[in-house]
Each structure stands twice: as C-alpha cells, then as structure tokens.
C-alpha cells in the first residue's frame, strides 16, 4: 500500500465555481485540490487528483488505484452516482476503500438524486458540506 490517495471527479466537476454556485459554491476544483494537498501533506499522504467527463476513465482509474496499491479513493462521480452500475461494479471489484464524496446533499435535492449506485459499493459517504466534504473524506481515510 502506498500513501497515495486518488481523488476522482466525474462529469461537470471541471465547471465548479461557475456551475450553479447556489448549489455547489464558488470553489473551483483547483481550490479543492490545493486544500486537499495541504491537509494530505500534514497527514503523510499524497493526492492524485483527476477529473473526467467520461465514465470509462473513472473505471480505469479505479482499476489503476488497485494496481498501484493506493491507500484509498475519494470519488465524486457527479451525475454517474445515480446511474452507473458500471462504477458500482468497478468499486466492488477492487479492495482499495472508496469514499463517496458530494458537495451538496443529494437526499435534499431532486428525487432522482436520492439513489446512489456508488454509495451502495463505497465504504463511506460524505455529503452536504461543500468543499469540506473532501476534507472530511480525507480525514476518514486517516482513520482507516
């Protein structure tokens, strides 16, 4: 096991800071990466932060996390959270712990967001704390 934590971000998260700031806030993905890298360094971890709008990339990166012996994966699958059996299966196929992350609270939003295929397979879910959700998930890794 390495000290690397993969932080995988799905569709539309490249638009954080611009996209629906009333829901997702004004922090960009780069802002979140900086915050995570600073805290990870304090905890003795390294962050490998990635974003893709393509489901297959996220699946490949989950497999890579396993092959590279990552400490954990923080996964904000965006809209794929509610639709992707393939991501669910990829999470179930690896032994690296996956923590589901959401900026908003999906259960407080539209009904179609209340079901999470990712959450069914993840070791833990952190949601509804804005950018702090990522930090809380990182702290959870430190406790594993």
Q: Is 24 one of the annotated active-site residues of the chain? A: yes
**How far is 14 from 24, CA to CA, in rounded Å?**
12
DSSP of 69-93? T-SEEEEE-GGGGGT-HHHHHHHHT
> pTM, whole model, 2 decimals?
0.93
Q: Which of 24, 80, 88, 134 is catalytic?
A: 24
pLDDT at 111: 81
Where exactly are the structural domains of the chain? 4-143
Average pLDDT value over all residues in the chain: 93
Q: Which of 6, 88, 102, 134 is catalytic?
A: 102
Classify 4-143 by CATH class. Answer: alpha beta
Strands 72-76 and 124-127: unpaired
């Amino acid at each position: 096991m390495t000290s690397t934590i993969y932080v995988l971000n799905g569709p539309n998260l490249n638009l954080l800071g611009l996209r629906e700031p009333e829901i997702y806030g004004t922090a960009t993905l780069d802002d979140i990466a900086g915050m995570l890298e600073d805290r990870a360094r304090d905890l003795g971890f390294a962050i490998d932060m990635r974003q893709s709008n393509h489901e297959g990339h996220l699946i490949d990166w989950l497999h890579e996390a396993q092959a590279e012996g990552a400490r954990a994966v923080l996964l904000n699958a965006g809209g794929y959270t509610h639709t992707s059996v393939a991501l669910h299966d990829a999470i179930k196929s690896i032994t690296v712990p996956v923590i589901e992350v959401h900026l908003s609270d999906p259960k407080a939003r539209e009904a179609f967001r209340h079901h999470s295929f990712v959450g069914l397979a993840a070791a833990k879910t952190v949601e509804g704390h804005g950018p702090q959700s990522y930090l809380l998930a990182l702290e959870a890794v430190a406790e594993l």
